[in-house]
Structure 1
Amino acid sequence: MEQSSVFDVIIIGGSYAGLSAAMTLGRSLKKVLVIDSGEPCNKPTPHSHNFLTQDGKTPSEISSLAQQQVSQYNTVHFHTDVAIDGKKTAEGFEISTQSGKKFETEKLIFATGVKDNVPNIPGFSECWGKTLIHCPYCHGYEFHGKKTGIWAPAEKAFHLAGLVNNLTQDLTMITSNKSDFTTEQLEKLQQHNIKIEEGEIHHIEHENGNMVHIVFKNGKKIRLDALYAGIPFEQHCKIPETLGCEITEQGYIKIDGLQKTTVDGIYACGDNTSPMRSVANAVHQGNFAGAVINKELTEENF
């Protein structure tokens, strides 16, 4: 077939989870192709935290070193492109890319992450990943003791409140409807002196992504150093659904305890499978997915 190559495993997504899987498979001499567009979800984030040996490094520093180390295994190949389609074949799967390339594989890993649907609020995108943050484990320590807000659906906001209250005593919940919280939740927030600000956000005043004020549609503004925002997301890659992989009610690719999707021969790892969006978790899942696939390929051919 024109413009085609055959691999044991194709990994779509070359960030932390994908590179971790590639290293595991490369060390087992499997022929691997990593297809990646070079646009990771955490690109706006200035520093990555809570991952041993790499705490405080930029996301690009970590991924560049990872790719350099994975590249030492000569059975691992890289292709900068966007995977746009996939289909089942008699031998496994065929992946088509934006540039017109076609690749075949027996096993397929999706390490494609998710896409955050940033709201159309002036100043939001400029602050996203810097002072507009999503995870107290990834970013919370840097803002401990600071004026902090939480803006998310009530259940998620309440869950975050307990975690963030451990980091700062100056915490404000921002909601468009105070009644979204249960009576018990409101009592708990009051018990911990957590303020509630009711209103629709109009824009965010900032200095180079450093938040200064949240400005409401009624004209009121409050001073904040950081805001946890629970915004919706979607799968970055639609190919898993095209191939029949089940998606959970929360929007993640459904996997079992071995990183297997609901389609035989397809695996997934990283942010596209779990709300635990961290470098450490992505590396763990990728490493495990690679080991599981290597075991299956070995058993099939031994």
Structure 2
Amino acid sequence: MDTNQFEVIIIGGSYAGLSTAMTLGRSLRKTLIIDAGEPCNKQTPHSHNFLTQDGKTPREITEVSKKQVLKYDTITFYDGTALKGRKVSEGFEITTNNGAVFKGKKVVFATGIKDLLPAIKGIEQCWGISVVHCPYCHGYEIRDKKTAIIANGNKAFHLASLVNNLTKEITILTSEKKNFDESQLQKLKQHNIKIIEKEISEIIHKKGILEQIIFTDGSKEIFECAYTATTFKQSTSIPTELGCKLTENGYIEVDIMQKTTVNGVFACGDNSAMMRSVATAVYSGNITGAIINKELTEESF
């Protein structure tokens, strides 16, 4: 028996990948999870807005999930990073950073995304702690605080509208000339949301807790937290190397069954969904596992 041959290879062992694996394990599908233990939310102190797990650390949720998934005998976990992928006669071949080569009939990318933070000193140390991206994931914990929104234009306006329900002390920091239409400016003024157009130089913090923002002209403003509209890139280039299409926003294009544009290749979690949350990742992984099992059944029955 070929120990490197699997029915399904899942690349990424966080919420979406583990959810996919649980569904496949319960269907007795021989499945490999490849993961290096470097999730994008590893610095986030607590995860929220997910039933039964509200307030747990991301690590806690992952460890419990992994332990439950690995109880299923057909699931194997490999500690490593997938570096290459190619189509072969049996399906797909994945090569890892350790030189190991695995083959699978189906491949799932549950690889998340990589945030591209603004080039501001101190922001990386605050990311996921006091500088965040999502009011639904973090907003309740930083409610009623003096809040900065590091963004411009429509993204800043959208964030401000959501955050306005959580705090009445909001300032938008555009870092350049503001880019709002008259209607947006009127609404921001109506809700007493200030705009500062000065470029940000540095975020002053203590162990990731924001205290001040310094501008390039030397002036300072006291803030307790901030939201920022980051850009991102895919964590791996393997999907596009296999021919998977990306959307105009940079997500892996999938249909409602989590199928990519390449037959036999699936994607789930943050790499293919604008709704970025633990709950969404688990949901999409659950669908992915069920559809893959359906396809494998149809191919063999």
**How does the TM-score come out when normalised to structure 2?**
0.98
| Residue 254 of structure 2 is aligned to residue 240 of structure 1 | no
User: Partner residue of 1:257?
Assistant: 256
Give every structure 1 segment of 4 or more consecutive aligned residues whose post-TM-superposition deviation is greater than 2 Å.
Answer: 176-179
User: Partner residue of 1:278?
Assistant: 277
**C-alpha deviations, 1:51-98, integer Å up to 9, x for none?**
001001100000000000001001000000110000001121000011
Q: Hey, what's the Cα distance between the residues in 2 that align with 1:114 and 1:70?
A: 23
**C-alpha deviations, 1:8-33, integer Å up to 9, x for none?**
10000000000000000000000000
User: Partner residue of 1:231?
Assistant: 230
User: Partner residue of 1:77?
Assistant: 76
User: Partner residue of 1:28?
Assistant: 27
CA RMSD of aligned residues (A): 1.3
| Residue 7 of structure 2 is aligned to residue 16 of structure 1 | no
CA change 1:253–1:153 in 2 (3 A) is: farther
Q: Hey, what's the Cα distance between the residues in 2 that align with 1:271 and 1:244?
A: 19
Could you tell me whether the CA contact under 8 Å between 2:152 and 2:178 is conserved in 1? no
Could you tell me whether the CA contact under 8 Å between 2:24 and 2:293 is conserved in 1? yes
Task: Provide the identity percentage.
Answer: 58
| Residue 203 of structure 2 is aligned to residue 204 of structure 1 | yes
Could you tell me whether the CA contact under 8 Å between 1:4 and 1:101 is conserved in 2? no
Q: Hey, what's the Cα distance between the residues in 2 that align with 1:178 and 1:188?
A: 18
Q: Hey, what's the Cα distance between the residues in 1 that align with 2:120 and 2:152?
A: 17
User: Partner residue of 2:215?
Assistant: 216
Tell which deviates more after alignment, 58-67 or 181-190. Answer: 181-190
User: Partner residue of 2:39?
Assistant: 40
Q: Alpha-carbon deviation of 1:178? A: 4.1
Q: Alpha-carbon deviation of 1:4? A: 6.4
| Residue 171 of structure 2 is aligned to residue 172 of structure 1 | yes
User: Partner residue of 1:182?
Assistant: 181
Q: How many residues align?
A: 301
Letter in 1 for 2:234: Q
Letter in 1 for 2:125: E
User: Partner residue of 1:293?
Assistant: 292
Unaligned runs of 5+ in 1: none
**How does the TM-score come out when normalised to structure 1?**
0.97
Aligned to 1:52, the other structure's residue is in SS state coil
Unaligned runs of 5+ in 2: none
Q: Hey, what's the Cα distance between the residues in 1 that align with 2:118 and 2:172?
A: 18
